[in-house]
Copies of this chain bind each other. A is one copy, B any other.
Amino acid sequence: MPEFKTVCHTLTADLKTGPDIRDITPELQAFVTSSGVSAGVLHLFVIGSTGSLTTIEYEPGVVADLKRAITALAPADQEYAHEQAWHDGNGHSHVQAALMGPSLSVPVRDQRLVTGTWQQVVVINHDNGPRKRKIALNLTGVTV
């Protein structure tokens, strides 16, 4: 008999100095498949205040265009009040990540993520150095 459940997992993704963008769709689909949940929603949340999540057509052109647009929102070479207190060089990273947002919810049906053919889920590192980003996953829905 179908059962309602929520399945938790934490995904880890290695990213380069920001803005760096990585496709995590295959890992997410593997998690959905292993969860036993047939219909519901996969909630993603990037842990830490210099990461974000969105969807894009993951091809080198869009990746380059989005990096440029993110940089324009908060360029690294501007002055930041965060710098004056902390001197860690990532004032722009905090602003970029806050504007993009840390959470994303993707529907699941028939044990598949419901995304477009040319639409991939990506995690973005905005920090001024490489980061192992952690993404908390919560899949809530009914089993087969």
Expressed in whole angstroms, the Cα–Cα distance for A105 and B44 within the complex equals: 8
CA distance A5 to B4 in the complex (A): 7
Taken together as a complex, chains A and B put the C-alpha atoms of A31 and B94 apart, in Å, by 27
Instruction: Provide the residues of chain B in CB contact with A40, threshold 8 Å.
Output: 6, 138, 140
Do A49 and B55 touch (CB < 8 A)? Answer: yes
Q: Report whether B65 and A94 are in contact in the complex, using a CB–CB cutoff of 8 Å.
A: yes
CA distance in complex: A83, B97 (Å): 26
Min distance, Cβ A82 to any Cβ of chain B, angstroms:
4
Task: Say whether A81 contacts B69, CB under 8 Å.
Answer: no
Q: How many Å lie between the Cα of A116 and that of B131 in the bound state?
A: 14
Binding site for B on A (CB under 8 A): 4-6, 8, 39-41, 43, 45, 47-49, 54-57, 59-62, 64-66, 69-70, 73-74, 80-86, 91, 94-95, 97-107, 109, 114-116, 118-120, 136-138, 140-142
